[in-house]
Amino acid sequence: MTIAKKEPITDSVTIPVSIITTCYGRNRHLYNLLSSLMQGSVRPDEVIIVNDDADPEQLAKFSLNIVQIPTTTSMLLNSTFDIGRNRNVGATHATNDALIFLDVDCIVAPTFIEQLASRLQAKPNALLMGQPRYLTRPLTDVEGVKLQQGTLLKSSLDKLSVYNPYRYNIKPSSSNATSVETDIEMSMEQTQDYGAFWSLCFAISRVQFEKIGGFDTQYVGYGAEDTDFAFTARALAIDFYLTDDVIYHQQHSVYRPPLNHLESIVINANRFYDKWQHWPMAGWLVEFVDMGLITWQAEQQEPINIIRQSSAAEIEAAHWPDAPYV
């Protein structure tokens, strides 16, 4: 374990919250995330990074209590980066009861941590998910410096970002986001649609995380582990709330459909169905069927079989280097 050098924190209140993120090969995104956490209305007590390749000297430049822990890999699929297991490891090392999980692609709005922590304090038995907006291009080097200095305005990030048109978006509050709302019930909605949960940005207490059992490590690579987490929360009668606390998702290339994750998606879909008798990721499965990659029907109860692997040309054709959202 590596603990980055801690700089004095004098201009922001520190609150007892543990931030947990994991990544490999996304250090530009990671440093932008840390910049936004450093410039928030409050700072988290600790930031746990499950990561192997971030430069400790670079991490020491941030006025945050950063704990860097080595990543784990999946034993099920060719040593694939194991996001669920890494999140579990991060939670194990957290010293606070309030846990906020953030994908490394996140940039938090100035009051995100303060507001979401306040909501979790009021709803300690609930699962809370923030509201993502998607940057339509990567931040420039100049914008990255401004973010670290606290001079990249929220209004600028709003102009650079969009809501995901394929998902339900909680109605933004009328607050100008310069202070935390006194009524934490505002701008949050309880929902029974646990399939709407994404692990991109969520808060949960340590007790509830352990009650769920963390992320099921039988899922490998990419796909369905977060839906499984939410379905387990539903089975345990843990309330689920959507909030309008904003993070900005940093743009990166994607594959539509995700042919680069074909094998792990099939493994995870079979695992999910065996556990819940429900097929996840149906939209992707339909596309894989149409391409002749798998055999699958929505009504089937047998495991999905891969007929053939996608070709390099097919994978390249599915590549979207500048898509803001998946």
Quick one: what percent of the chain has pLDDT higher than 70?
89
- Record the pTM: 0.91
Average pLDDT over every residue of 126-151 = 95
Q: What pLDDT is attached to residue 12?
A: 72
Examine the pLDDT at 179 and tell me if it is beyond 60: no
Give all domains of the chain, ordered by start, each with its CATH number.
2-252 (3.90.550.10), 259-320 (no CATH)
Mean pLDDT of the residues in the chain: 90
Q: What pLDDT is attached to residue 134?
A: 95
Reduce the secondary structure of the chain to three states and give it as a string.
CEECCCCCCCCCEEEEEEEEEECCCCHHHHHHHHHHHHCCCEEEEEEEEECCCCCHHHHCCCCCCEEEECCCECCCCCCCECHHHHHHHHHHHCCCCEEEEECCCEEECCCHHHHHHHHHHHCCCCEEEEEEEEECCCCCHHHHHHHHHCCCCHHHHHHCEECCCCCCCCCCCCCCCCCCCCCCCCCEEECCCHHHCCCCEEEEEHHHHHHHCCCCCCCCCCCCHHHHHHHHHHHCCCCEEEEEEEEEECCCCEECCCHHHHHHHHHHHHHHHHHHCCCCCHHHHHHHHHCCCEECCCCCCCCCEECCCCCHHHHHHCEECCCCCC
Q: What pLDDT is attached to residue 4?
A: 45
* Rounded Cα gap, residues 3 and 184, in angstroms: 34
Q: What pLDDT is attached to residue 153?
A: 95
Tell me: the pLDDT tens digits for 260-304? 999 999 999 999 999 999 999 999 999 999 999 999 999 999 999
φ, ψ of residue 16 to 5 degrees: the values are: -75, 75
Q: Considering Cα of 323, then 28, then 163, then 221, what sign does the dihedral take?
A: positive
Question: Given its phi and psi angles, is residue 129 left (phi above 0), alpha (psi -120 to 50 degrees) or beta?
Answer: beta
Q: What pLDDT is attached to residue 8?
A: 37
CB of 4 within 8 A of CB of 68? yes
Residue 39: closest CA among 150, 142, 145, 146: 150
More confident residue, 53 or 34: 34
Examine the pLDDT at 226 and tell me if it is beyond 50: yes
More confident residue, 179 or 204: 204
Q: Which of 11-20, 92-101, 131-140 has the highest mean pLDDT?
A: 92-101
Tell me: the pLDDT tens digits for 140-150? 999 999 999 99
Residue 190: closest CA among 233, 137, 141, 253: 233
CB of 165 within 8 A of CB of 211? no
